[in-house]
Amino acid sequence: MIAKKTNGIDQTLADSAKIYFDQRCQTGRLAFMNNRPIGTISRRRAVGLIIAGLAAPSVIRSAAAEPALPEQTTIPDILKGSGEVRIASWGGSYQAAQQKAWFEPFEKATGIKVRAFPDADPAKVKAMVDTGNLEWDVISTSRRSMMRLNTGGSYFENIDYSLIDDGVAKEYRFDYGIEMMTWAQVLGYRADAFKGAAPASWADFWDTEKFPGNRAMYGIGAGGPPEMEFALMAAGVPADKVYPIDVDKALASYDKIKKSVVKWWETGAQPIQMLTDREVVMTTVWNGRMEALKEQGVPAAICWNQGLLRRDSWGVLKGAKNKTNAMKFVAYSTMPIPQARFAMSIAYGTTNEAANKYIPPERLAILPSSPEIKKQLVLVNDDWWFENGPATQAKFNKWLLG
């Protein structure tokens, strides 16, 4: 399984830190996804955390603390080959986890060399395919980014699903891509803020009398969609009735919380910093960054209920020079054991349910693909956002700035 990127801390840690969301800036979701995990913080702040004994995110844990990863001892002969495959990903801890979980074992098991590139900008896919100068074979991106590209042409090969493991659920499959990892946008809070009480829904997030204190929510900076789903569920809309989104109702719900939102954050590092510094008691946040925060010793917790389940995909570029090897790699990375290896390296979930039996229970318990957690989450409807995103974003921006 593949996952996302989990950033690090200081420059020493920052190089292993630029994970999840800054990536998607060029096509809307790009910036939103890259900043997702831990995010970068100032050098002074990082040094302070290290001195205080708090800077212990997963990216700097000692090797002795790392659980042994399951081994993929055999693979189907059809996945073996020669030559190479060129994969565009996002660098940092994300790509380091991919290297350990997929790239190295794939190369060893198949005889196909992996060349990885740390700059998976979908805009470059268009330029490469249009000019025929394809430097990559595979890209890590989002379904929505791929949908946007394909509105102007055909930029991706259809996935050879005859190679794909049956454990990859139907909702993660589409013709020209396959979703290989999951992550969640959730409610994060200070566990020491409410005298033993804990928020359990977006209605609680909106309830400033029962749960007093400043809030933070995602704004418009990182290029991702506004959190309309949260506003609707806070207003009493059932999770299974969120789509199609009633934009006006969502904005009316936002009106009720706006004065308590002291920061509309733009990067994934900001809500984590505000929780750490007690600037807010609650915030919307990406789950991977929260796990890193808890590892640093900050009394923070996640409310998974009514969170948004998001995904990332593999796409094989149209006309890829190593198309056959690309399909083999995509198939390998979505097999149960490779998926489990990735989830054990970074706190993001799998798309192959069979991977769960290879993941220790204590690790599975913090992943958005855990059966107990997944049933609490709302699967983001990328089709709705693709069709309605620009108009919805414009209305939200006007509301936020008005």
H/E segment holding residue 83: none
Query: Range of 210's domain?
Result: 183-310+381-401
The H or E element spanning position 369 is: none
Which residue did the predictor score with more confidence, 97 or 30? 97
Radius of gyration of the chain (CA): 20
Residues contacting 37, CB < 8 A, separation 6+: 4, 5, 6, 7, 17, 19, 20, 21, 93, 94, 268, 286, 288, 289, 292, 346, 347
In a domain, 178, yes or no: no
Q: How many domains does the chain have?
A: 1
DSSP H/E element including 215: strand 215-218
**How far is 163 from 368, CA to CA, in rounded Å?**
25
Report whether pLDDT(223) > 70.
no
Q: Is the pLDDT of residue 73 over 70?
A: yes
The answer as to whether 239 is a domain residue is yes
Question: 160-201: per-residue pLDDT in tens?
Answer: 999 999 999 999 999 999 999 999 999 999 999 999 899 999
DSSP-derived secondary structure for 235-261: TT--GGG-PSP-HHHHHHHHHHHGGGE
The mean pLDDT of 74-95, rounded to a whole number, is 93
Provide the CATH number for the domain around residue 233: 3.40.190.10
What's the mean per-residue pLDDT of the chain? 85
Q: How confident is the model at residue 51 (pLDDT cuts 50, 70, 90)?
A: very low
Angle ∠(198,270,87) on CA atoms, nearest 5: 110
Q: Is residue 122 a part of any domain in this protein?
A: no
Kindly state whether residue 293 falls inside one of the protein's structural domains. yes
Residue 8 lies in a domain: no
Q: Is residue 59 part of a domain?
A: no
Specify the range with the lowest mean pLDDT, choosing from 45-49, 95-99, 194-198, 340-344.
45-49
Would 41 be classed as within a structural domain? no
Q: Which uninterrupted H or E stretch holds 370?
A: none
In a domain? residue 169: no
CA neighbor of 36 nearest in space, from 284, 396, 280? 284
Which has the minimum average pLDDT: 163-167, 221-225, 243-247, 385-389? Answer: 221-225
